[in-house]
Chain A
Amino acid sequence: MTDKHKTVEESLDQIRTTTFLGLLIPLLPLLGFLVNGFLGKYLPKSVIGWIGSLSVLGSFICTLILFRQAGPTDAIQIDLFSWIALGSIDISFGLTIDALTLIMLMVVTGIGFLIHLYSIGYMHADEGFTRFFVYLNLFIFFMLLLVMGSNLLMMFIGWEGVGLCSYLLIGFWFKNPSYNDAAQKAFVMNRIGDLGFLLGMFFILFHFGTLDFSTIEQMAPSLVADNGLLIAITMLLFIGATGKSAQIPLYTWLPDAMAGPTPVSALIHAATMVTAGIYMIVRTNVLFAMAPFTLAVILWIGVATSVVAAIIGLKQNDIKKVLAYSTVSQLGLMFAALGLGAFSSGIFHLVTHAFFKALLFLGAGSVIHALHGQQDIRWMGGLKKLIPITYITFIIASLAISGFPLLSGFFSKDEILAHAFQQNLPVWIILSLSSLLTAFYMFRLVYLTFFNDFRGTEETRSHIHESPWTMTVPLIILCVLSVLGGLMGLPVVFHANHWLNTWLADVTAPAAAILHQGHHISHTMEVILMSVAGIGAILSILYARHVYLTRRSVPESDEAMSGWGKVIYQKFYVDELYDRWIVAPAFKLAEWLGNVFDKHVVDRVVTLTAGFLDASGRTLRVFQSGNTGSYVFAMVLGIVVLFIIRLLI
């Protein structure tokens, strides 16, 4: 045997291994889902929890192995079988693993595992424990399909699949009608976006003849930039993204989605699923880069969402609602980054946000767990000493999201702000404002929850305890990540090369080639911007400290609210507006169509036809009296008439 043969053999082996590992990543959670789903009732709780968690850990390990082997330009293609093939369409059931996918895989499986672990403790007393892990594993499976899909339709499987799991998990406690409403709202709003996605796919399929990401990427540059077709495609895809990633106008489902168990909020509604829209746009960045109009729309929608959600966040009193609006706001920031053409910055913030927002939610879950379900921050306070690990991790996460210097959020946010400053000054101003608001409401939350005295009942207080290790370990790990997450994107100012930008360079190259970003702002300017942002965040935190720690003010009760405070607390009445102008008229129309139009117009035509025949029958039967005499008379009359006619002619 020659050496050459050996190397071929080796590389084949290599391909086989990577394919195997790549397949294992989504299959392990699926296996966990199937095992728990079918055999769950025969297994003890602890086993179920660990099956669920370890299956995700397995995926994470596979991801790590692949990550160590792969370079930033490698792309592993796994085509399982031809899924829909007819005419000129051939959509394969295929997976791709490239640089971007690997980043997403690490986030999904890594944070996914931590949250599974956390759930073992958090959900231990729940009667739906098994069901919870079944759904959670199914979610991970679909999320992995979403990020690994090699074409848009595969992504769409995951896209709708995670929507389903989100529906199931928001309505996890399905005995409560309002939770079910929230679940349904989430699903339907997502479906509105999904229709956009679907139509976008049709445009692409029709004009490109394929849905494969790689082919689209190759073909797109040959199109004329910014023509109607590209704008239509990108706008439709963006509508899909607004649904999944809770942007204006489809954001109202996300705060309601907090009805689900807190680990779900952390995993699905903060770290992974809601970022799917950003992932999708980065995945198809070449199309978006060629449609500057859409980019502008994305930019302004992102900016508006970011600031509106931050304002609403100022006045919320439910600990999870505050975090939910904060999520919406941060997602807005990411979209703004995409709108600025800074695709890798969007991903950077996505990753750091996943770290600290998951941590915040898990911390909030730990607080809620300690307080036996209390979520209203007006009834909290003074928890600092009682649950110290939660307190420390929560405050670090809050610092990270507020953009406190040198923590992960600082770098990722700053990168976006730098892009904004360079391209569009008004955007920079609004986004900076939104950052200040973020810092303020986060520390309002921190001070109200952990400082001063406990405002709840004495009885609740006596039960407060730190959570078990399965819950605190994920908190600590995420805390470390929140602090160090910025290292992956240290800016050049710090004499480091921006690792994430380099890693994703190949993915964002098509867009970069089109957008021709102007030269970067000078290092001095960058340092000034960073300082401004850092100082702003600190000042904002200090102001929150002044209001809620020094002056010890507590948000007023619902009845006492008035003026703008109330409007903001009521989320600008957007839900009511939607109800009044969209939902109610639709149901009214349904009622009218069903009970009036269908019965009295459409069916009336049918019954009238039958009625006409019936009436003519009734009229004609008069002649058939049954009286023989009249029959004979008619006969004779007929003969006479015939005779007369005969005679006359």
Chain B
Amino acid sequence: MLTLLLLFFPLAAALLVLLGGARNASRLALGFAVAELALTAYAVTVFQASGPEAFYIFQPWIESPKVSFHLGLDGLSLVMVMLTNFLMPVIILSAFHRNIHHASGYFSLILLMQFALIGVFIAMDGLLYYIFWELALIPVYFIALRWGGANRVAVTLKFFIYTLAGSLLMLFGFIMLYWYNPAQSFDIRELYRIYITDGNQSWLFWTFFLAFAVKIPIVPFHTWQADTYREAPTQGTMLLSGIMLKMGTYSLIRWLLPILPVGVAKWGPLAITLCVIGIVYASIIAMRQRNLKNLLAYSSLAHVGLISAGIFALNIQGLQGSVVQMVAHGVNVVGLFFCADIIFNRTVTINSDNLGGIRTLAPQFATAFLIIVLGSVALPLTNGFIGEFLLLYGVYEYNTWLSVFAGLTVILGAVYMLRMYKKVMLGHPGARVPEFSDLYWNEKLALGMLVVVIIGMGIYPKPILDLAEPVLQSILNKTII
């Protein structure tokens, strides 16, 4: 029951916000998102008390092909749902004090997105999962298309088709799984059990991997990313980078590793190599980006590359690291894009060459921004460090040399992030940016929430590690062939 409430509350909220009119849309949406967050907190206490069984829902849905309405909330899903529902109020808060036309539609779509994302994270039936996966694309497409920047039409089209093409491959993969499944079902428990020949696993791997690789994205399937991040409105970018990318990495863990262990064993080395190349590649490109949003896009690319590398390392450190880092990256990247938005909002420029000296004008903003930057360069006692340490160690266990290359992100990350901070925030005030008002209450609240999580998670990551541990361990056991 709680599961259904968690899932459908945002949908109902989306409808209500749509009907509620433009004037109160943002406040209404924030109220609903906070309520959902409270619901999540309650769900966590229930989970701690009675375990995942309480959240299990199974209802036959379609007779033939056999699809069931199967939802479940284990530790891994719970972490992802926590991330989603924590970021939603922040994302909605970040849209306060901004001039948004058709606000009711905008916030309604954001809440619809929340519905789809939660669906992806808790669906335990292949086709149901696929429906949520595609559903998540629709709101963000409209958000980017209607509220985006000047070049939005071409960019969103590319983004939509690129990701959809990947997803269709996945649908094909699911159909083939159904075909190979003697029980003729999409249910995850069946899929975890079925026997698929090595040859079939080998090519089925690609149907799933490509879908996820486009969504994550893993180099070289990333070229939609920077453009989309730049053109989408800030909240859209936050949704995309903060949560939607995690659909890809989450799905690698949930669907790819346990169902196709042989395929993963065969192609994993190639995939992890791609990921590691992607880390270095994206980090190097990020060093020379002048557009703030582009820089953040490439830095995000480097981070998710490391997350995926940790997943393909196929050890508990890598998987745990990826879960922690999914959360950490979600929090940090939302914070970073929010900071970029604050800068853009005040100065109407996003090119770091035209910025500088903001720190003197807005010390509170500078401090918050610095902490988020430090989280993203993985300074110890911030959330980024726990993830990066575990991920790099996971990759190290897999292959020492790969970890050396992946480790370059430690250096290059510091280079591009601090360079950006230096160019944008430091230097003499007034030369490029004449005035810059410090944080408004909504920005203070949103950034404050993020900063607390960044430091809190860095000091005490144990709750997240403990939540994910049993699930990851059982998935890991399935990958051993």
Interface residues of A, Cβ cutoff 8 Å to B: 81-87, 89, 93, 153, 156-157, 159-161, 164, 167, 171, 174-177, 180-181, 184, 187-188, 191-192, 194-195, 198-199, 202, 205-206, 586-587, 589-591, 593-594, 598, 602-603, 605-606, 610
Q: Which of A156, A187, A202, A603 has most chain B Cβ within 10 Å?
A: A202
Beyond A86-B316, A175-B429, A187-B418, whether A195 also contacts B408 by CB under 8 A is yes
**From residue A585, how far is it (CB to closest CB) to chain B in Å?**
11
Tell whether A202 pairs with B428 under 8 Å between CB atoms, given A184-B418, A195-B410: no
Contact between chains at A175 and B392 (CB < 8 Å): no
Q: Does A180 contact B426, Cβ atoms closer than 8 Å?
A: yes
Chain A residue numbers with a CB within 8 Å of B385 are 160
Residues of A near B162 (CB, < 8 A) are 606
Q: Is the CB of A602 within 8 A of B220?
A: yes
Q: Which residues of chain B are within 8 angstroms of A591 by Cβ–Cβ distance?
A: 288
Would A175 and B418 count as touching, CB distance under 8 A?
A: no
Q: A157-B381, A184-B422, A594-B289 are in contact. List 4 more A-B contacts (CB 8 A).
A: A85-B465, A87-B317, A156-B380, A202-B403
Q: Considering the chains assembled together, what is the distance between the CA atoms of A81 and B463 in angstroms?
A: 12
A598/B285 in contact, CB under 8 A: yes
CB neighbours (8 Å) of A87 from chain B are 315-317, 320
Residues of chain B in range 160-175 having any CB-CB distance to chain A below 8 Å: 161-162
Nearest CB on B from A614, distance (A): 11
A176 CA to B356 CA, complexed, in Å: 11
Write the chain A residue with the least CB distance to B285.
A594
Chain B: which residue is nearest A606 at the CB level?
B223
Contact, CB under 8 Å: A199 / B407 = yes
Contacts of A188 in B (CB 8 A): 411, 414-415, 418
Contact B317 A89 (CB under 8 A): yes
Bound-state CA distance A84–B427 (Å) is: 39
- In the assembled complex, the Cα of A229 lies from the Cα of B86 at a distance in Å of 44
The chain B residue with its CB closest to the CB of A190 is: B414
- A171 and B381 contact, CB distance less than 8 A: no
Interchain CB contact under 8 A, A191 and B396: no
Q: Is the CB of B393 within 8 A of A202?
A: yes
Chain A CB within 8 A of B390 CB: yes
B253 at the interface (CB under 8 A from A): no
Q: What separation, in Å, do the CA atoms of A587 and B412 have in the docked complex?
A: 11
B469 located at the interface, meaning its Cβ lies under 8 Å from any Cβ of chain A in the complex:
yes
Q: How far is the CB of A204 from chain B (nearest CB, A)?
A: 11
Contact (Cβ within 8 A) B389 A175: no
Closest to A602 in B: B220
Within the assembled complex, what's the spacing in Å between the Cα atoms of A159 and B380? 9
CB nearest to A131 among chain B residues = B363
Q: Mark B420-461, 1 if CB is under 8 A from A, else 0.
A: 001000111100000000000000000000000000000111
Do A84 and B407 touch across chains, with their CB atoms under 8 A apart? no
Residue of A nearest to B388 (CB): A198
B interface residues (Cβ-Cβ under 8 A, vs A): 158, 161-162, 219-220, 222-224, 281, 284-289, 298, 315-317, 320, 357, 359-360, 374, 379-381, 385-386, 389-390, 392-393, 396-397, 403-404, 407-408, 410-411, 414-415, 418-419, 422, 426-429, 459-462, 465, 469
**A84 lies within 8 A of B428 (CB):** no
Bound-state Cα–Cα, A184 to B386, Å: 23
Q: B284 contacts A586, CB within 8 Å?
A: yes
B407 touches A198 (CB 8 A): yes
Q: Are B461 and A84 in touch, CB under 8 angstroms?
A: yes
Q: List 15 A-B contacts (CB under 8 A).
A: A81-B460, A84-B461, A86-B465, A164-B374, A175-B427, A187-B418, A188-B415, A191-B411, A195-B407, A199-B404, A589-B284, A593-B281, A593-B284, A593-B285, A606-B224
Is there an interface contact between A174 and B427, defined as CB atoms closer than 8 Å? yes
Given A198-B407, A202-B403, answer yes or no on A86-B288 (Cβ-Cβ < 8 Å): no
| Residues of chain A with a CB closer than 8 A to B379's CB | 160-161, 164
Residue in B374, B396, B426 with the greatest tally of chain A CB atoms within 10 Å? B426
Q: What residues on A are CB-neighbors of B161 within 8 Å?
A: 610
| Nearest CB of chain B from residue A92's CB, rounded to whole Å | 11
Residue from A156, A167, A195, A206 within 8 A of B411 (CB atoms): A195
CA distance A61 to B286 in the complex (A): 48
Distance in angstroms from B351 CB to nearest chain A CB is 15
Tell me whether B287 and A180 are in contact (CB under 8 A): no
The reply to whether B427 and A177 form a contact with Cβ atoms under 8 Å apart is yes
B403 pairs with A199, CB closer than 8 A: yes
Of the candidates B222, B287, B381, which one forms a contact with A590 in the assembled complex, judged by CB atoms under 8 Å apart? B287
Chain A nearest Cβ from B392, distance in angstroms: 7
Selected from A160, A175, A205, the residue in CB contact (under 8 A) with B393 is: A205
Q: Which of A160, A161, A587 contacts B287 (CB 8 A)?
A: A587
What 7 pairs between A and B have smallest CB-CB spacing? A590-B288, A603-B223, A157-B380, A87-B316, A594-B285, A202-B396, A174-B426
Q: How far is the CA of A258 from the CA of B462 in the complex (A)?
A: 40
Contact partner of A160 (CB less than 8 A), chosen from B281, B380, B426, B461, is: B380
Output the least CB separation between A52 and chain B (Å): 18
Contact between A598 and B396, CB atoms less than 8 A apart: no
Q: Which residues of A contact B281 (CB under 8 A)?
A: 593
For B459, the chain A residues whose CB sits under 8 A away are 93
A206-B287 in contact given A157-B381, A188-B411, A188-B415 (Cβ < 8 Å) = no
When chains A and B are docked, how far (Å) is the Cα of A279 from the Cα of B357?
38
Quick check: A199 and B396 within 8 Å, CB to CB?
A: yes
CB neighbours of B393 from chain A (8 A): 202, 205-206
Give bound CA distance, A202 to B404, whole Å: 11
Q: B462 touching A85 by the CB < 8 A rule?
A: yes
Are B389 and A198 in contact (CB-based, < 8 A)?
yes
Question: Do A590 and B285 contact each other (CB < 8 Å), given the known contacts A86-B469, A202-B393?
Answer: yes
In the bound complex, how far is the Cα of B288 from the Cα of A176, in angstroms? Answer: 22
Write the nearest CB–CB distance from A169 to chain B, whole angstroms. 14
On chain B, the residues within 8 Å of A81 by CB distance are 460, 462
Query: How far, in angstroms, from A87 to B315 measured CA to CA in the complex?
Result: 9
Q: How far is the CA of A181 from the CA of B407 in the complex (A)?
A: 23
Q: Which residues of A contact B289 (CB under 8 A)?
A: 594
